[in-house]
Amino acid sequence: MAERNIRLTLAYDGTDFYGWQVQQSGRTVQGVMQAALERMHGHAVRIVGAGRTDSGVHATGQVANFITDIGSIPPQRFREAVNSLLPRDIRVLASAEAGPRFHARRSARHRVYRYYLSCAPVLLPHMRNYCHWVRRVPDIRVLNGMASLLVGEHDFTAFSAEGDKNVSKVRTVSVSSFHAESGMLVYTIAANSFLWKMVRTIVGTFLELGEQGGGAEGLARVLESADRGTAGGTAPARGLFLERVVYDEETLENPGPAAGLSGDGVFPGAP
């Protein structure tokens, strides 16, 4: 039977998942997706994700692919078919047929993450799992002064976590900036790929330097040190969303055909 390569755009609430990647024990996004696909196919189906999001990290535009031998379902109908088998905290936003060589992780050119910071006097309870509440957020100009320094090709050793298995810590960042959205400060970072906990360590460092007044000079020193000990703490997972993954035929400005709802911002009504 003819096999097809199906590409999915996924959103999930990471709160109750031990991250993307299947583990010996614990509920994972990949595990729940594979269980749904196995039910649908009658045999095990392996799914590949573009970003191995950590425990508690959310997604509004994760991309994944799997090989199907079910010939009877048009590619765009996999969305409803898989959703009917998934728990409410994962949704397929879009499904499409991809070329036979498409690989969600290896074909990805950019990953775009967003980190949401709130400094509301009191955080509304229904926002509590989807942003990081800070008593005082540094001035957005100070934050952007630091953020802009990360654009380009750099050794991000200072922002990697102990246990990161990447041989090279050099990454190319194409977007790194803050904007105000929905009453929050939102940090957007796009790179070819990321080290383990890199975004959360970057945000934690921004916040500490912002508090201490270290600013752009402080950040430059941390980056140049290539020493994790000089960076700040790791900001909580709950503020982080994998927002989009960009492939060859697409640009950062122009979402691809299977982008689904991604790129609309996490909170409805966001610009």
Q: Least Å distance between CB 219 and a copy of itself?
A: 28
Measured from the Cβ of residue 103, the count of other Cβ atoms closer than 10 Å reads 14
Within 172-245, residue ranges assigned H as helices are 198-212, 215-225
Residue in 30, 70, 68 with CA at minimum distance from that of residue 50: 30
Residues in the interface with a copy of itself (CB under 8 A) total 36
CA distances for 225 relative to 34, 35, 215, angstroms: 42, 44, 16
Q: How far is the CB of 104 from a copy of itself (least distance, A)?
A: 19
Q: Which is nearer to a copy of itself, 181 or 208 (CB)?
A: 181
54, 139, 164, 248: the active-site residue? 54
Q: How far is the CB of 218 from a copy of itself (least distance, A)?
A: 30
Q: Give Cα separations from 203 to 56, 76, 146 (angstroms).
A: 16, 37, 10
For the window 17-56, what string marks contact with a copy of itself as x by the rule CB under 8 A? ----------------------------------------
C-alpha to C-alpha distances, 208 to 132, 177, 213, 218, 251, nearest whole angstrom: 14, 17, 8, 10, 33
CA angle 22, 25, 26 (to 5 degrees): 80
- Indicate the DSSP class of residue 194: -
Q: How far is the CB of 126 from a copy of itself (least distance, A)?
A: 5
| Binding residue for a copy of itself, selected from 76, 182, 188, 230, defined by CB under 8 A | 182
**CA-closest candidate to residue 162, choices 249, 234, 211, 56:** 234
Applying CB under 8 A, does 74 fall inside the site for a copy of itself?
A: no
Segment near a copy of itself (CB under 8 A); pick from 20-28, 157-165, 209-217, 258-266: 258-266
54 flagged as catalytic: yes
> Per CB under 8 A, which region of 38-46, 68-76, 119-127, 135-143 contacts a copy of itself?
119-127
Q: Choose which of 97, 164, 181, 250 interacts with a copy of itself (CB under 8 A).
A: 181
Task: Evaluate whether 214 touches 205 at the Cβ level (below 8 Å).
Answer: no
Question: Which residues are designated catalytic?
Answer: 54
Residues in contact with a copy of itself by CB under 8 A are 11-13, 58, 60, 79, 83, 88-93, 118, 120-130, 181-184, 260-261, 266-270
